[in-house]
Each structure stands twice: as C-alpha cells, then as structure tokens.
Amino acid sequence: MEKAKQFRIGILTLSDKGSRGEREDASGQVVREMVAELGEVACAQILPDDLETIVTCLRDWSDREQLDLILTTGGTGVSPRDVTPQATRQILDYEIPGMAEAMRQRSLEVTPHAMLSRALAGVRGTTLIVNLPGSPKGVRENLAVVMPALEHAILKIGGDPTECAVP
C-alpha cells in the first residue's frame, strides 16, 4: 500500500488557563498522536481565547507558514470566551460544512451537549482548518470522524487534478 503524503500540520490549542500554564495541554497532545501518520507537526502553540490573537495565528500559519492542515482544539462551545469559530470564520475563504456536521452527528451519539458545538471546518488558500473540541475525549471522537477524509481533502485543496469518483 502506498504511504500517505506527509503534510505540514499545525495544532493550535485555545485555552486561557493553558496559555497561562495553569492547565496541561492534554487535547493538543491527543491531536499530535492521532495525526502522526498524516504528517509533521510544523507548528504548535497554546493561545488564550482572544479573537484577534487567534485570527493572527491562523492567518500566519496559513499564509506565511503555508501549512496544509491546521487543527484547533478548544473554544468551540457557547461560553462568552469561546471565540474559535468566530476567529476561524473571519479568515476562511470558504467553509466545508459537512466535516463539522459529521463531527456533531457522531458526538450526538455520545452526548446531547454536542448540539452546542459551533465548530467549523474550511479553507484559507491551500490550508484546511478544522475546529475540534477542547477535551481530550472530544478531540478523539471528533478527529476520528474526519481522519478518513483529511488526506483526500488536503490533496484536493492543494490542486490535485485526479478524479474523485471511485470506479
């Protein structure tokens, strides 16, 4: 079997407490472990739940670092400090709603609180950006849903001209 292309990946953890060193970043570590076969984690950072700070980082990682994939963890709920979806939406060229819908659908099988998730997935330039929940359990459940489609999505976003139809 052909080895998957090695992509450049960013993991952005959004947590006020984590950014101050008051909480260990367990969710970012789960992301790192789950994407190890997909590529190299070229950028990883823990930032506070601050809209402009998140926007700046997402733009920088997409435009300057030219990452293939950015996975955010945290800030997707409904509390006043949960601003990851707003920041992501500000910088996206377009959304891929099916990815976020699939994650919510799977999570609803586990908890009714999944309907409160405002996670997004979309594209800026040639970078796929996916918002994940902030808990390690939520990251595992949600990332497992989209993992089978990530390589194909990244290749297509990068301009792969091959046919998508399966014979």
16 assigned to some structural domain = yes
66 assigned to some structural domain = yes
153 assigned to some structural domain = yes
What local confidence, expressed as pLDDT, does residue 34 receive? 98
Pairing mode, strands 127-132 and 39-47: unpaired
What local confidence, expressed as pLDDT, does residue 165 receive? 67
The mean per-residue pLDDT over the stretch 132-141 comes to 96
Helix (H) or strand (E) holding 16: helix 16-19
97 assigned to some structural domain = yes
**Percent of the chain with pLDDT strictly greater than 90:** 86
What local confidence, expressed as pLDDT, does residue 1 receive? 35
Binned at pLDDT 50, 70 and 90, residue 163 comes out as confident
165 assigned to some structural domain = no
82 assigned to some structural domain = yes
pLDDT tens figures, 93-123 = 999 999 999 999 999 999 999 999 999 999 9
Cβ contacts of residue 81 below 8 Å, gap of 6+? 16, 49, 75
In terms of pTM, does the model score above 0.85?
yes
163 assigned to some structural domain = no
Query: Average per-residue pLDDT in the chain?
Result: 94
The range of the structural domain enclosing residue 67 comes to 7-157
Structure tokens at 87: 């920041």
Binned at pLDDT 50, 70 and 90, residue 162 comes out as confident
Q: How many domains does the chain have?
A: 1
What local confidence, expressed as pLDDT, does residue 138 receive? 96
34 assigned to some structural domain = yes
- CATH code for position 41: 3.40.980.10
Position 2 pLDDT exceeds 50: no
What local confidence, expressed as pLDDT, does residue 3 receive? 46
Strands of the sheet containing 69-73, edge to edge, are 39-47, 7-14, 69-73, 127-132, 121-124, 94-95
